[in-house]
Amino acid sequence: LGLSGPPGAGKSTFIECFGKMLTERKYKVSVLAVDPSSSTSGGSLLGDKTRMTELSRDMNAYIRPSPTRGTLGGVTRTTNEAILLCEGGGYNVVLVETVGVGQSEFAVADMVDMFILLLPPAGGDELQGIKRGIIEMADLVAINKADGDLVVPARRIQAEYVSAMKLLRRRSKVWRPKV
């Protein structure tokens, strides 16, 4: 599964909760987390793993943070190969968390069986959903953080994306993207 979304959408938190649910069901889970690299130093914080403290201690989980090192599209130059290595290593589920910074961060969509776009409830209006790029590639749009005071805005953004996705050409004849 490939996961993308804007900063603060809750990608790492979602992956930790989903990953823990899978490991409790006896799946072996691999997480390939991609972080942006500094254009100045080339370094990267690789902080996604630190936000997945429970999953990182789980013996049925493997988390590998990797810097982009200038590669565009939200993944690294070797993400596809890393996915294959994880599958070959016996991991049932491979989750790829992209850099997730914009409309063009969807290279992972061609590497995975399902591409999920996570959005916060206050992530823009319907025009954002109509923009070509990442929204066209999503197999599933999940509105995250939809609790408490954010229930109403979450329902509104859900309705806006359902409407927007009706205007987009489907990538598959058998799957209609869900919101």
Q: What is the mean pLDDT of residues 101-112?
A: 73
Contact of 65 with 31, CB cutoff 8 Å: no
Q: Quick check: helix, strand or coil at residue 97? A: strand
- Between CA 61 and CA 50 the distance in angstroms is 14
pLDDT tens digit string along 55-73?
999 999 999 888 776 665 5
Domains of the chain: 2-167 (3.40.50.300)
What DSSP state is assigned to residue 178?
B
The answer to whether 19 touches 29, Cβ cutoff 8 Å, is yes
Q: Which residues contact 62 (CB under 8 A, 6 or more apart)?
A: 28, 29, 30, 31, 86, 89, 91
Six token digits for residue 149: 């005071």
- pLDDT category at 116 given cuts 50, 70, 90 is very high
Structure confidence at residue 6 (pLDDT): 84
Q: Give 11 or 38, the one with higher predicted confidence.
A: 11
Least confidently predicted of 50-64, 93-107, 165-179: 93-107
Write the pLDDT tens digit of every residue in 129-162: 445 677 888 899 999 988 889 999 999 989 988 8
